[in-house]
Structure 1
Amino acid sequence: MEKKASRLKRALKLRSKIKNSGANRLTIHKTAQHIYAQVISSDGTHTLASSSTVQAEVKSAVKNTGNVEAAAEVGKFVAQKAIAAGITEVAFDRSGFKYHGRVKALADAAREAGLKF
């Protein structure tokens, strides 16, 4: 099985477990140059908060957009927006990506900013 297919298979398993819990989910997606994060409603119809390294406020806070520091900034910003929208607890949907490096940095920064998962 190729790399992307394996990741998508892991993502489907994780999303089915999150859907059964009925929690809002913090979803991430990463590319080589950028990282994106969204808080999606429990029914999956609305995006409640979002942040990415493409946004000017995040891009100006970091030197490079494809590293751990940039991911931590995205985690901090998405947590602030979610808390402002009244969301304090989410389920972390890592979209099949392994929990290390930029994914871990984003999750840790979101936790430090006040999100619980």
Structure 2
Amino acid sequence: MAKTKESVTRRAQRVRRQIKKVANGRPRLSVYRSSKNIYAQVIDDSAGHTVAAASTLDTDLKGALKTGADTAAAAAVGKLLAERAVKAGIKDVVFDRGGYIYHGRVKALADAAREAGLNF
């Protein structure tokens, strides 16, 4: 188990290192996926603070979702995050998949964020 956690951490650091090279001052859309929920936030690395955040635990989404661990929930989180980011004045971001494979819930979140107005 520890070997798996170390490899995911190493992969996440590798992804972040590559993102920082191509970011050009754009904020980072970071994704964390647990077995029961999914979390996403737009982070301004130059200022070191979170601009917008959303998760399946938000009161706006929690009652409307059947579960927090499916692609429909991830798409709802992506849409909500994009709306909050656009409201905060952020349109262009770089996508930080956090060491996860770009598939399933991570892909659903990214596609919904794109459809709701974020560019990456």
TM > 0.5 = yes
Shift of 1:37: 0.3
TM-score (norm 1): 0.94
TM-score (norm 2): 0.92
Identity of aligned residues (%): 50
Unmatched 5+ stretches in structure 1: none
What is the 5 A alignment of 1:34-113? 34-43=37-46, 45-113=48-116
Paired residue type of 2:15: L
Q: Distance in 2 between matches of 1:97 and 1:52?
A: 17
Q: Distance in 2 between matches of 1:80 and 1:12?
A: 28
Q: Distance in 2 between matches of 1:7 and 1:90?
A: 23
Shift of 1:14: 1.2
Moved over 6 A (4+): none
How many aligned positions are there?
Answer: 117
Shift of 1:23: 2.0
Determine helix, strand or coil for the equivalent of 2:89. Answer: coil
Unmatched 5+ stretches in structure 2: none
Which residue does 1:9 correspond to in 2? Answer: 10
Which residue does 2:19 correspond to in 1? Answer: 18
Q: Distance in 2 between matches of 1:44 and 1:63?
A: 36
